[in-house]
Structure 1
């Protein structure tokens, strides 16, 4: 598919402020065959993908085509970015037959909800990672099915089997075409109780109480019907998966099951060398199915040289005119001297270089371990910034009770959302509000515990469930919640704004970055090994990818703090070709 000069002018005005896509980006925009797009740092992946989608949707609209475009993103932030670009191009929303969303949203919408409608005759599902409510349910279920287990002498076994139901995941056994369970801890009695355990867990799920990963379990069940695969395949001609290296392999495999074939164009876009979640496998790539976007607009050659030494597979190319500085290895003896010397380096470059001084990108210290923050900057505590939604203590306590009652009630005739609404709207819950206010004003004494107990038991009795007493663990949670008087502003007041984990800055562009490597951190060994200074080094591909991600964030300058004991004179002489070696006096 080839687009006209006028069409490129449109997307370049919208996305590049009048600048132009380079030849490699244009080749990607006009590429319409199934490929894996390896897009290096600063290669303009997101912008080029947005341009491709804009031009494709305009083409389909102008040709009255009903071929659908499916865009799978890793986060909702990416969804928002693409939607904003589309709106600027006059495409107000992505509507039928097209789709944009995360992989979980895709499978929930097209597989999980239809499965529940067809097989369970309802679509009232919600995702809850709460451990307690699940275990309460499994305890009741197993107790009802096996009344003998409630005897005092079996209490330890009772707890064990409930924990195993919770901890052992359900899977879809494709060979046997049925739901199965994994025996995670090789329990010798697993086969004997397996059927009851599966039923307890599956029955909980088909009532609508799902976990994050259940999306793929129920999608597999739904897609066993080849007709549903055909419907999706027929609807979506074009499938784009953004940040494929961060997308769960289970989801990628399911998408492949649907869309691999001559009738679909499926493109996975991302950078496998930025796979930085521990335990996550690097995607397996077929060289003949790869299209590379490796020209970076982020930094110049002085950053790309050491970057390619550490990750030669990436083969990052740069624009000749792009300016950056020779990275610095800062040799230190005292950890507490690192931070101030890094700041001194920044002052030095601001005095010497106007572009660096006027750059509006941030300078950040990048750490692998959050506990290292106080060692870089004395007395600070690492705290990840969050937008907190303040919820009153009264509402927190009320929600705790409602969730507890939901977990205690087994009602096969009432779906979970309706059950929760029945509890929330019950007159006794409204009556409880005054009791909670008195607890907050005064305290939780025995009388008020009994009042709460009586209200809970009133609802449980209505549903023919076992009642509780004031020794129930609920009241310990109640007391713990009352003791938690932390002030959110106090929590964030000690927060520092220039020390971050490498994971937290993935995808960002920084003006400069400092990386530290304390204790048994692997980064120095990776550096020395890749430059041939160390013959052998024990590190994982994830650690190597982390260093690659940290290095590739910067537009201008990277500073690597290395302890003086780690670097010999011979090592310094080898590194000097790519690095400015400075010792802190």
Structure 2
């Protein structure tokens, strides 16, 4: 039975008094959403203040609690940061909302709490200890190596060897040692991603391109035993959690109705970011083919669905019959609002977008050539300085992250042939120092002690502190310029794989030391843990070079006694992806990394993404695929898949800026595709 209540003018005034500046009120669009208590979708354009509208609804729901039927409110989003923002802004006003029977958290935490934990308790008669991709991968590989060539299991390695040998031979180009090394690496990667699907009774991988289904096959039996040893140790991956959650739902017919009765009002934020397995799970539980006991409100912008690194042209989110719009954007200037309409894959949902930011700066195209490509970013920084000095661009020097340089495709990894091809441009061609794997400030600390001090203390497991310790060791390797075999920085997975292949003794010692330090930290003996970790570091470095001398910078990092989260790197070391110009800090990064952010000024760099067609007419760049959109025409429903993918990235990238938006395009492509562009809307500048 659905809760019965109404939201009135008094409720609206109450929310306004907490969330809005004095004298400000919610407009008609927001009031229509805030007062709606039925199953709907909310389509909100960039900068429309949907989070504030959601918070207003939650503040008002607090006043209606407890519901007559004793049910609660469920609020889900994708990231801890989004949940933290909700808590920071309204928790002090909502003691009932943040307690039983309500739940406010990430989709992952909901699945863990209400599906995976009870599944584990019922199926394995024990508690789940770790939801950690790297831990699961390490554990699976460890178990697999015990049976890899075991004849009683018909040597399971042969399955994976046949899947990867051709690729290894092609890449090794006759080098037998490299071929052996590559095929072993590819086998390890695939094995680390296998799992047992309780629904299909198959052994599969998370990429869905491998399966074993004959339960009598000895290789199947051996691999299943490996997987179950890991499961019995209490370890799964984040993706596995959804698979197990789905299985638990399928095998408990009353669970769906129980969850609906528990949560009669459900809000899902950032709906466009859902993967299909998340979407299907939520729909199965809380929509139930239209028969749900719950009110389900889904909130987001379907035009911004670029959550995963693989941008898809189609979307899992299908709108309900009732879709409410938020079309007034507090963030965007009208010139920027006008242009992003054309790049929307679903233009019907943003055709009337209104940019309420008063800035009237034109959109800028920066035209470059092969010779001037490295001067694009300096030209942008000079432009920012010029408009800042004239008072046309307002930048608060006290705030970071206001100026960004963004690009869809950033580096070429190990593809040297593409890297040196001048026709294939990525971010590193504009800015050579760029490093994709550079740690973000929120994960980066200026001393070893901080890694033991700042970790997520909420989960009752060793996973967060273990991960911090490993990231501290990775930072030490970066400081000392010790890289993996591909000449790129180590990741945790690469590190563990390298040590396991190089020396089982070193691998076991690392795991033991990390475990001991983690246990001591959890138990409150972080000082002793730090001393142990400091003493272990020379041994850790010796795994890579017995004659390596630790640098003074690294010594400072190890011994410094500071536990503050820094904004910069060590001492005078400037992050590679940050440029400083006349006191301005400009971050160079990917479009994916800035999703959800707001910048005063943005430079969008076009980049190569496959080739549609051949020869001179091939289309690989935004200026080619989206030429009509730059000229003001909406995206057609018959657009190609890659055109839609490019449009989604452009829509997100272009809508970050509040005042100044610049887009870098090759001069030849401009003259071929965009020479009729409206100069009343666009300022065209040549980069010399």
What is the TM-score of this pair, normalised by structure 1? 0.77
Q: How many residues align?
A: 532
Structure 1 residue 114, shift from structure 2 partner: 1.1
**What's the CA shift for 1:250?**
0.8
Question: In the TM superposition, what is the alpha-carbon distance from 1:237 to its structure 2 partner?
Answer: 0.2
Q: Distance in 1 between matches of 2:431 and 2:318?
A: 42
Matched-pair contact (CA < 8 Å) for 1:241–1:268: yes
The CA deviation at 1:141 is 6.1
1:274 to 304, 320, 325: 304
Give the direction of change, closer, same or farther, for the CA distance of 1:441–1:213 in structure 2 (3 Å limit).
closer
> Structure 1 residue 79: deviation in Å?
0.8
Partner of 1:467: none
Instruction: Give 1:306's aligned residue.
Output: 339
Q: 1:15 maps to what in 2? A: 19
Question: Contact (CA 8 Å) 2:202, 2:213: kept in 1 or not?
Answer: no
CA contact (8 A) 2:8 2:35 kept: no
Structure 2 distance, partners of 1:3, 1:102, is 26
Deviates more, 1:190-199 or 1:73-82: 190-199
1:388 to 434, 437, 444: 444
Is the 2:242–2:277 Cα contact (8 Å) retained in structure 1? yes
Structure 1 partner of 2:294: 264
More helix by share: 1
Higher mean alpha-carbon deviation, 24-33 vs 82-91, is at 82-91
The 1:514–1:57 alpha-carbon spacing in structure 2 relative to 1, beyond 3 Å, is: same
2:654 is the counterpart of 1:556:
no
Instruction: Go from structure 1 to structure 2 and tell me whether the alpha carbon gap of 1:531 and 1:404 turns closer, same or farther (over 3 Å shift).
Output: same
Match of 1:53 in 2: 58
Determine helix, strand or coil for the equivalent of 2:325. strand
**RMSD of equivalent CA atoms:** 4.5
The residue aligned with 1:70 is: 74
* 1:384-423 equivalence runs, <5 A: 384-386=439-441, 387-388=443-444, 391=448, 404=508
Within-5 A mapping of 1:82-101: 82-91=86-95, 94-101=98-105
Change beyond 3 A, Cα 1:210–1:187: closer
1:222 aligns with 2:248: yes
- Residue of structure 1 equivalent to 2:483: none
Q: Tell me the alpha carbon deviations over residues 92-149 of structure 1, each in whole angstroms, 9 at most, x when there is no partner.
A: 7611100011111001111111112222211142123243332112333678893785
Distance 2:117 2:598 in 1: 39
1:356 aligns with 2:394: yes
Retained in 2: the 8 A contact 1:67–1:235? Answer: yes
Q: Aligned match of 1:530 in 609, 629, 634?
A: 629
Structure 2: any 5+ residue segments left out of the alignment?
163-183, 412-425, 453-468, 474-495, 500-504, 558-568, 579-584, 610-619
- TM superposition score normalised by structure 2: 0.66
Match of 2:36 among 31, 34, 39: 31
Q: Bigger shift: 364-373 or 45-54?
A: 364-373
Q: Aligned in 2, Cα 1:556/1:316: closer, same or farther, shift over 3 Å? A: farther
**Is the deviation greater in 553-562 or in 287-296?**
287-296
Distance verdict in 2 for CA 1:24–1:154, change over 3 Å? closer
Deviations 1:21-48 (A, max 9, x none): 1111111111222222221101111111
> Is 1:515 aligned with 2:541?
no
Instruction: Find the counterpart in structure 2 of residue 126 from structure 1.
Output: 130
Asked if 1 retains the 8 angstrom alpha-carbon contact of 2:605 and 2:663, the reply is: yes
The answer for the alignment partner of 1:451 in structure 2 is: none
The 8 Å contact of residues 362 and 681 in structure 2, kept in 1 or not, is answered as: yes
For 1:108, the equivalent position in structure 2 comes to 112
CA distance in 2, matches of 1:188, 1:221: 17
Output the CA distance in 1 between the equivalents of 2:669 and 2:302: 30
